Structure 1
Amino acid sequence: MEEFAGDQISERLMSGDLDMGISYRPAIPHGLRFEPLYNEELKLIVASNHPLAKRKRLRMVELNGQRMTLLSPHFSTRQMLDECFEAAGARPQIVAELNAISPMIELVRRTDLCSIVSENALANEPGVKAIPLESPTPVRTPGLLWPPQSERPAASRFMAEIIRDIVRQGIA
C-alpha cells in the first residue's frame, strides 16, 4: 500500500502502476470506474471556546470573513469546499493552507481559526466542537477506484472485500 494524492492515484491507475485505489470521487474520472463506499458530511470545527462553538448549525454564507485553515487547493475536498463557498456567496479569510488534517485540527484547537473536516477525522478530539453546515451541506464520497479494464487481480479483489466489510461494520 502507498499513499498518493487523488490525481496521482488516477494517473497511476491509468498507467497500470496500481490495480486499485481508494479516493474521493474524482472530478474528472478519466475512464476510471468508481465504486462509492459511503457519503460523509463535512462539518465546521472550532475550539470549544470559539464564539461559534455554541451554534447548533451554521449556514455556509455565515463563514464569510471567518479566519480559517483549510487543505491546500490541489486537494479535491478543498476544491469542493471552494465551490460551496462560491455557491453560498461566502469568502472566508484563509489564513493557513495545509496538506494534512491533524495539524489543521491542532491549529483550530489552539487558535481562533476554524476549519472544515469530516467528523470521522476528529475521533473525539478534546477541545474541538463540530458544527453541521448547510446551504449547501458539503458532502464527499470516498470509494474504490478501478482502472478501465474489467480484469481485476485476485489480491485487489480480496483487499476490496476487506475494505467493504470494514465500511459495513462502521456504518452498522
Structure 2
Amino acid sequence: MGGCLLALTLAACESDLGTDSTFPTSRRGEVYQTGNVPTDTIFGEGGLFGSSKSLQDDAGGGGGLGVNAYLWRASLDTLSFMPLSSADPFGGVIITDWYTSPDSPNERFKVTVYILDRRLRADGLRVTAFKQNLDVNNQWIPVTLSPSVTTDVENAILARARELRVAREGE
C-alpha cells in the first residue's frame, strides 16, 4: 500500500520535474564572467557569514571570523607555548589549559583572552591570567597575580597584531 502511494505521488509530481517556472528565462544558460556575476543572493552581499568587503577591511581580512583577525592571530601566536583548552573565533575567546614551565614545576599558569571588537584597538582586548603554586601537600593553591602581568600579555599581543598588520599591508 505504501509503495503504491509513493508511486502515485511521484507520478503526480513528474510533470513538474522538467520545468523550472521560478527561474527567470533571461538567465537560463547565461555564463557568468568576471564582473558579470549577480550580487543578489538570498544571503545578501556578505553571503552566509557576512563577509562583505567592508567587514573584511574592519576585521583585518578576517573573512569568516567574528573578531579582529590580527588580534586573533596575535593572541594565538603569543600564547602558542601554552596548551589550548578552547578557542572560539566567532565569540572571540581563547582559553589555555594550565601551563607549567620546566624551570619551575611548582607553579602553573592559565590565561583567557577576550577579543571584544572587530577593529584593531587596544580596548578591544582583555586578558585574564591565573597562577597556582603547589604546596607541601601537593595541592594547587591560587596566587594573586600583579595587574602588570595581564598588561604585559595584552601589550605583547597588541605588538604582535601590529606586526601582522604591517606585514599584510606590505604585501
Q: TM-score, normalised by structure 1?
A: 0.24
TM-score relative to the length of structure 2: 0.24
Q: Which structure has the bigger radius of gyration? A: 2
Structure with the higher fraction of residues in strand conformation: 1
With CA pairs under 8 Å and 6+ residues apart, which has the higher RCO, 1 or 2? 1
